[in-house]
Every structure is written in C-alpha cells, then in structure tokens.
Structure 1
Amino acid sequence: MPTKARIRLWSSNIDSLNFVVNQIRNMAQKTGIQVSGPIPLPTTRMEVPVMRLPHGEGKKKWEHWEMKVHKRIIDIAADERVMRQLMRVRVPDDVYIEIELI
C-alpha cells in the first residue's frame, strides 16, 4: 500500500501556482499530516524568435516571445481523508496538477 503521495504542480503564472501550493500545505497542516515541500524545480524558459517583417525585405528585426513554466513538488502522507480533501482543492485553469502514489 502506498504511503506517500507526490503532487507535481506547474504553471506559467507564479501567483496562481503559489496560491494552490499554500492551499495544499494549509489543508495538510490542519489535518496533522506530514508535508515535505514545496520543492521548487528549475524554471523552464521557452523563447520563440519571430521576424517582424514577414516578407523579409529591409532590416531584419526580431521580436522575442518567451514563456516561463514554474514547477513545484509536494510530498504528503497518503491518508485517505487527506486525499479526498485534496480532490476538493480549487485549482485555477492555468495550474496543472499531477498526483502520484509512491
């Protein structure tokens, strides 16, 4: 039987991500479950250079669009009561969550 649950969260909006992480930590602390984390993982930075003039005449001017993806990992004890409460946590649309029993 699994004894821990590993929760992976990622988002391009750091404020929404921290809001969900704080909700999970507060919920686990209220129930008295041991919490490990949040462990911040390296931020993935994706950059796309796009030429401003599509026809290519004149000076080559580039725009750089970038998106940063922030990631966190939280390990909590896999108690049935806590897992049910975890499913009720409101997660914004721009935050992605993955739960794995280890």
Structure 2
Amino acid sequence: MLTSCNVKSLEKVCADLIRGAKEKNLKVKGPVRMPTKTLRITTRKTPCGEGSKTWDRFQMRIHKRLIDLHRPSEIVKQITSISIEPGVEVEVTIADA
C-alpha cells in the first residue's frame, strides 16, 4: 500500500515499482486506486471572536495505491528497496499463499 498527499510523487513511485517488477519478470496487479481520504478543518479567522464571522477552510487529501506482487519475499524486498520520493509512505504486507 502506497500513501501520499502528493499525487505526482505517488504515481512516480508506483511506476518505479512496476518497472522494477517487470524487469524481474514478476506477476504484477495494480496499481489499484483506493478511495481518497479527505481531512477537513474549519476555523474562525479572528482569534479574539470579535468582528464579522469569517471562516478559513483547510483540507488535506490522502491518496492511496495498492500494488500486488506474487513472488517470494526476498525478491519483493529487492524491488521495494528503490529510492522513494519524500512524502510517500510504503507499507509492505507479506502474505503466505
């Protein structure tokens, strides 16, 4: 599972992982786009509470991609050791089939 707030860097890491997997002739499924999580915060602009009631709205979108690699864990570890863009989190889950 790859997670990031920046879509461009997330897509670049996905492309690098898939390219590395295809160089080693691995069976790859993905990247599957998971639902984007949107975090919203609304705050008053004035700290004292006086004046007109104006509000600031902030939001952060968290994008997720899922890539399935079907091979032994040693080969998957070699592929996932590529350089990863800052701001992209990689979560590796190894499942026994």
Q: Same fold (TM over 0.5)?
A: yes
Instruction: Check the 8 A contact 1:51/1:61 in 2, yes or no.
Output: yes
Q: Measure the CA separation in 2 of the matches of 1:98 and 1:21.
A: 13
3-state DSSP of counterpart to 2:12: helix
Counterpart for residue 65 of structure 1:
58
The farther-off stretch of 78-87 and 28-37 is 78-87
Tell me the matched-pair count: 95
3-state SS of the aligned residue for 2:75? helix
Relative contact order (C-alpha < 8 Å, sep 6+): which is higher?
Answer: 1
Q: Deviations over 1:23-46 (max 9, x none)?
A: 000011111100001000000001
Structure 1 residue 85 displacement after superposition: 2.1
User: In the aligned structure 1, how far is the partner of 2:59 from the partner of 2:32?
Assistant: 24
State the match for 1:4 in structure 2. none
- 1:32 corresponds to which letter in structure 2? N
Which structure has greater strand proportion?
Answer: 1
Q: Distance in 2 between matches of 1:80 and 1:11?
A: 24
Letter in 2 for 1:78: R
Q: Give distance in 2, aligned partners of 1:74 and 1:94.
A: 18
Residue in structure 1 matched with residue 40 of structure 2 by the alignment:
47
SS across alignment from 2:92: strand
Relative to the length of structure 1, the TM-score reads: 0.87
Question: How much does 1:81 deviate?
Answer: 5.1
Give structure 2 stretches of 5+ with no counterpart.
none
Structure 1 vs Structure 2 CA RMSD: 1.2
* Structure 2 match to 1:15: 8
**TM-score where L is the length of structure 2:** 0.91
- Identify the residue that residue 21 of structure 2 maps to in structure 1: 28
Contact 1:47 1:67 in 2 (8 A): yes
- Quote the sequence identity (%): 28
1:56 partner SS:
coil
Q: Which amino acid aligns with 2:11?
A: N
- Contact 1:49–1:64 (8 Å) recurs in 2: yes
